[in-house]
A and B are shown apart, each in its own frame.
Chain A
Amino acid sequence: MAERTNHNPAQAPADSQAPAHNPAKNPPPAQNHDQAPDRNHDHDQAQDQAQDPARVGVYICYCGGNISDHVDVEAVRARMAAQPGVAVARTNMFMCSDPGQELIMEDLRAGRINRVVVASCSPSLHEGTFRSAIARAGGNPYQYEHANIREQVSWVHHGQAATDKATRLISAAAGKAGLLDALSPLRVEALRRAVVIGGGVAGLRAALDMADSGIQVLLVERTAWLGGAVARLGRLAPVGEDASGLLRGLAGQVLAHPGVTVHARAVVSGFGGYLGNFSLTLSRTPDPDVNADVNADANANADAVADAAPLSKMPSKTPSKMPSKMPSKMPSKMTVGGFVRGLGVLAPTQPDAASQDQGPLTVRTGVIVLATGHRSYTPKRGEYGYAENPEVLTLPRLIQHLADTEAETGPLLVLNGRAIRRLAIIHCVGSRQIPGIHQEDESGCLNEHCSRVCCAASINAANQVRERHPQTSVYELYRDIRTYGRGQEEMYAKAAANRVVFLRYSADDAPEVRRCPAGQGFPLEVAVRDGLTLGQELRVPVDLVALATGMVPGPVAELVDMLKLPVGADRFLQEVHPKLRPVELPLPGVFLAGTCQAPMDIGEVCSAASAAAVKAVALLSKGHVELDPFVAEVDEQACTGCGACVAACLNKGALGLETLELDGAMVSRARVTPALCLGCGACVAVCPEYAIDINGWTLAQYEAMVDRIVCRLEGVA
């Protein structure tokens, strides 16, 4: 541990990727100019192409009726077969299937075609499938164009109009395909390094897995603590593992791992670069006062009047020493690796972080894993009596109390000095909200999602209360019990055996929490129409109400902005596809792990984190990655060196003017740095000579597509 905290980055082994000069004067994207890969322009191949006229193969998918129910696929095939430049036109039940791909490959191998158009579902699903089939057959995967005739034709149009539109789109694709040059992917050297953002269970799991695979990992955590939301838990559903033990184990491995550097109290404040070579700016949160965390803990989640009284304070164990940098009011018991319920495992203070007046730190990395987690829903004032009654608290607070008082037994649960005779737990608070029934929050959002873990957490808490305090009765007010996980149904059965009372309410007739009429001897009553007893209206006087608050997306607006991350309608981060690419984002090299994506339990979080890690490791295993070659290219013969494109370029550094010798004269010409080019085309529109184009997306190709859309085609609208 000691050598870790004393580790000085300045003495780090020389990094082959790192420039020798002072990087502070050269921000990371600019550093890489000399290493930026040049496109492997294969001139021989280009010449071959020039001699070899385009022969387009057109392949049209039935999609098992998805397309063929609305598009007369055979009629389209016949029309395409008759078009100039089209060498073959074929159909298949499932083009994405092996026999479908084989059709293309066979035509390529036989030399019948040298360009491919597939007309099927959205390119987001199968463009890659077909490009790879072309490559396997020895063709150039970039001499491919996709026509989307399912999502954008057969699912939205019918009859002759659908068949005609499909014909036009395929014809346009064939027009573009005929103009597609052979391209090669850009090869980018990839740093075998990963930055994990978030030090909860997802971040810890992903960091460990990648570090064990030989990747240098930097773990960034906003607080001084590792463990995230799990730090607030006690005995875990369904079999009662101890959350603190679990965290100590995971965080301990991370802290001891020579391949992981933890940057606690740091946030990402800047982002640049690309897959294989991202740069992130880390800013430190100002005050490395761990003591403040411990004191603030009672208020950090302090969501209700009841919670104002501290539930937990300090760790019960006594660690051995106190870090020298800790402020004097720091309790003498905290040390790196120590655990405090509600906060987590104390992370080491980086030496550079400890010194004052340090500016932001820039780090370079090959991949980024987002493990930013969730936050717990905060009920609105008055929602089930929340914040208006001291006897109403959230389930996370109750769970933390149960964890803090684990040793305590007794006939009755005692909370803040009050004996609890009856406890009601209301499910689905802030989850499964329905438009028209529930009220939107200030930003007009509803949490329509199920938070997945609260049913098991509620029942687990109920069982603990019943088993430790047999005189405290527990009522669970639920909509559906979702104990789906392994061992959870058994836990639910145990709750019934423990005589936990289950009452079922419907979303449009939610329970009401109100002050109990005087003389009843209870502060609150819960009124509920119970669906399990034929809709009987029940009034249950209680001492305490716990609200099973769900998971809502964490505060990641700044990251979303910086990295342009996609966010779903539920406001969680949105993967590319839940089944095809469940831990990936459209931005290559950035992965999702854990509850930043959706509610999950701990085991599911660890699976997701490992799944993200395996993708990252596979990407970095070769030390380089290949990127699409869709970047700007200058026609040096046509370019006059006017510099209009350089001025228009949106990613400064991607385009510049350089002097070169052309036909014996020194001339100024625009030059593209492909690894920095975004491929947006801002330069294309401003070039007075039409001398710059985006490979694979040229203006001429668009013009050809428009021509095919408007041209006369016999019998086609």
Chain B
Amino acid sequence: MDSAAHSPQDSPQVVTGTGGTGGMGVFDALVIGGGIAGLQTALDLADQGYSCAVVEKDASIGGAMIRLSKVFPTLDCASCITTPKMAAAAHHEKITLLTCCDVDRLERVNADEDGGSLVATLTQRPRHVDIEACIGCRKCEYACPVLTPDAEQGGFSGRKAIRIPFSNAIPQKAVLDVEHCMLCGKCAEVCPTQAIRYDQKPEQLRLEARAAVLATGFRLSPVADKRQYGLGAIPNVIDSLQMERLLAPHGPYGRVLRPSDGMIPDSIAYVQCAGSRDASMGVGYCSRVCCMYAIKQAMLLSGSLPLADITIYYMDIRAFGKNYEQFYQNAKAMGIEFVKAKVASLDPTEGGAVTVHYEDQTGAGVATREHDLVVLSMGMLPGWQPGQVCPVAIAADGFIDTVAPKTLPSLTAMPGVFVAGAAAGPKDIVDTITEAGGAAMQAAKYLAARAANAGLARTPQARTEKASIQEASHG
């Protein structure tokens, strides 16, 4: 056993600027977004030998998926599917990860010179931790006296001002949030590697590449936008990602409890299309995942709270993916109640329950029912507004426009720039991963063509005379 075999590639590669003067790097491709779409794209590009930089705004890669509990229709734990891909990307010699990075500008320069190159200007926000020195031991986190609501846990539990973002984050490096830090110095005292940098400044990075893939994902439509559902102010009305945290193995309470008083809910309702198919919110489209995640959560809830009644108020159940309809029928067979109705409004009650006013389309018009806990199945909004940052075209739905949605679904209006996953419209994980592979294929083809034009043929076998595959024989 040769311990000298330990190579630098054993730890995730992270580019950092040096001393605030700014860093730079040249890659074959940039992947904007380190969620499942970006990671799959980067892996598929890197496996063909292309170097990629993955630019992630958060302190960890993994995106929305790593924050989920279990995923439909197999009920695998999301972490079990995401972590290997995260680790594979982090360890891939052709992949460089950049976390805490915002894209300030992404544009093509010198376009007339053989297509030019894409240049991204990034700001790396300070972690206030030296990422090279930090060993992820969490001593700072244990020592920190500041407790603040943890957005990673749906705001239900607390976190420290300095912490590892979450248990399976990559990189496993601490991040200090200055907004809540009291500068008490306790973290710096306990840090065994003197990695705390209170005075760390944002750094400008400049990356250059021939191609880019936008994998900027989605954000959940905010409950606060929905007047009829209480603008987020009614106790015990939560959104679906909050429920995801309540159900997760690392969740805030370790079990499902009603947030206002810690009661075990006997009756839980899902309001479907709470943030989708609703012109009043400016979201006319279907978010594609809400039916399935509501059914999935309902199944998980009926496992953890076998006595609870679970009701799903829906317009249409859209269980269209492979094995999804079977999943839906199983949920019905398990006794989850599906009520075809549009929920008109929600009201708080004194005891903490929530009154649901709905229009029953199979019964006698308007009806009301009380539930201990109401989950709003919020939809997907674009995760990134290119605005002045990048001249890529946006469609009427706000997501990145694709120019050949049937034959080349990853093509954007900007040459050399491709799109994958929910950045091009709401999408579930299965479709996202497949689309990411497709985007990697098209980006690789673009890179190969550019290399061929530049006389740098990567593959000597490529585009040679047509050799026949059949040398064998009749017989």
Contacts and interface: CB of A to CB of B under 8 A. Distances in A.
B323 A570 contact: yes
Given A97-B79, A138-B3, A603 B466 contact: no
Contacts of A195: 469
Nearest to B167: A93
A214 B461 contact: yes
B73 to A, nearest CB: 8
B168 A531 contact: no
Interface string B1-30: 111111101101000000000000000000
B361 A532 contact: yes
B181 interface: no
A325 interface: no
B40 to A, nearest CB: 9
A209 B409 CA distance: 13
Interface in A566-594: 568-570, 572, 577-580, 582-583
Given A96-B83, A138-B3, A359-B475, A214 B408 contact: no
A481 B316 contact: yes
A449 interface: yes
A389 interface: no
B3 A614 contact: no
User: For this complex, into which size category does the number of interface residues on chain B fall?
Assistant: 35 or more
Contacts of B465: 13, 258
Contacts of B455: none
A390 to B, nearest CB: 32
Contacts of B459: 213-214, 621
Interface string A592-634: 0000011100111011111111110110010000000000000
Interface stretch (A61-69, A414-422, A675-683): A61-69
A213 B444 contact: yes
B48 A618 contact: yes
A569 B326 CA distance: 10
Interface stretch (B85-93, B155-163, B221-229, B233-241): B85-93
A135 B399 CA distance: 41
Interface stretch (B284-292, B367-375, B384-392): B284-292
Nearest to A282: B470
B448 interface: yes
Contact of B325 (A109, A132, A432): A432
Contacts of B73: 578
A250 interface: yes
Given A66-B249, A489-B285, A450 B445 contact: no
A482 interface: yes
B110 interface: no
A579 B433 contact: yes
Nearest to A250: B407
Contacts of A279: 472
A277 interface: no
A361 B472 contact: yes
Given A489-B286, A579-B429, A610-B441, A363 B470 contact: yes
B433 A101 contact: no
A611 B441 contact: yes
Contacts of B438: 606-611, 614
A332 B75 CA distance: 58
Contacts of B63: none
B49 interface: yes
A608 B441 CA distance: 11
Given A580-B81, A610-B437, A261 B320 contact: no
Contacts of A359: 474-475
A352 B474 contact: yes
Majority secondary structure of chain B interface residues (helix, strand, loop or mixed) = loop
Interface in B64-95: 71, 73-74, 76-77, 79-81, 83-88, 90-91
Given A65-B249, A111-B3, A12 B441 contact: no
Contact of B168 (A98, A258, A602): A98
B425 A486 contact: yes
Given A363-B472, A364-B471, A480-B316, A572 B405 contact: no
A358 interface: yes
A448 interface: yes
Contacts of A214: 448, 459, 461-463
Interface string A20-38: 0011100010000000000
B470 A94 contact: no
Contact of B1 (A94, A111, A352, A482): A111
A617 B167 contact: no
B410 A480 contact: no
Contacts of B80: 63, 96, 121, 125-126
A9 interface: yes
Contact of B277 (A136, A139, A489): A489
Contact of B170 (A18, A98, A599, A606): A98
A138 B10 CA distance: 10
Contacts of A213: 48, 441, 444-445, 448, 459, 462
Interface residues of A, number: 120
B409 A362 contact: no
Nearest to B462: A214
B81 A23 contact: no
Nearest to A358: B474
Contacts of A265: none
Contact of A209 (B250, B445, B471): B445
B249 A63 contact: yes
Contact of A216 (B9, B326, B467): B467
A316 B406 CA distance: 25
Given A94-B79, A97-B79, A434-B329, A258 B466 contact: yes
A192 B362 CA distance: 60
A105 B10 contact: yes
Contacts of B250: 64, 93
A109 B288 contact: no
B318 interface: yes
B363 A362 contact: no
Interface in B247-286: 248-250, 254, 277, 284-286
A432 B326 CA distance: 8
A149 to B, nearest CB: 14
B442 interface: yes
Interface string A129-155: 100110011110000000000000000
Given A482-B316, A597-B322, A611-B434, A64 B77 contact: yes
A484 B469 contact: no
Contacts of A486: 285, 395, 397, 399, 405, 424-425
A607 B467 contact: no
Nearest to A55: B1
Max count, chain A CB within 10 A of own CB: residue among B79, B318, B320, B340: B320
B431 interface: yes
A621 B461 CA distance: 10
B84 A580 contact: yes
A534 interface: yes
Contacts of B444: 213, 614, 617
Nearest to B44: A614
B130 interface: no
A583 B73 CA distance: 17
Given A449-B322, A484-B288, A136 B9 contact: yes
Given A7-B468, A214-B448, A607-B435, A484 B318 contact: yes
A94 B463 contact: no
A261 B445 contact: no
B227 to A, nearest CB: 22
B60 to A, nearest CB: 10
22 contacts: A13-B468, A94-B83, A97-B87, A98-B171, A121-B80, A128-B84, A129-B84, A138-B1, A213-B445, A213-B459, A214-B463, A259-B466, A359-B475, A362-B475, A482-B316, A484-B320, A486-B397, A578-B73, A582-B433, A583-B434, A604-B409, A617-B441
Given A450-B324, A486-B425, 8 more contacts: A13-B465, A63-B80, A93-B250, A98-B171, A137-B5, A213-B462, A249-B407, A582-B437
Q: Which 4 residue pairs across A and B have the least CB separation, nearest first?
A: A611-B437, A214-B462, A64-B249, A138-B5
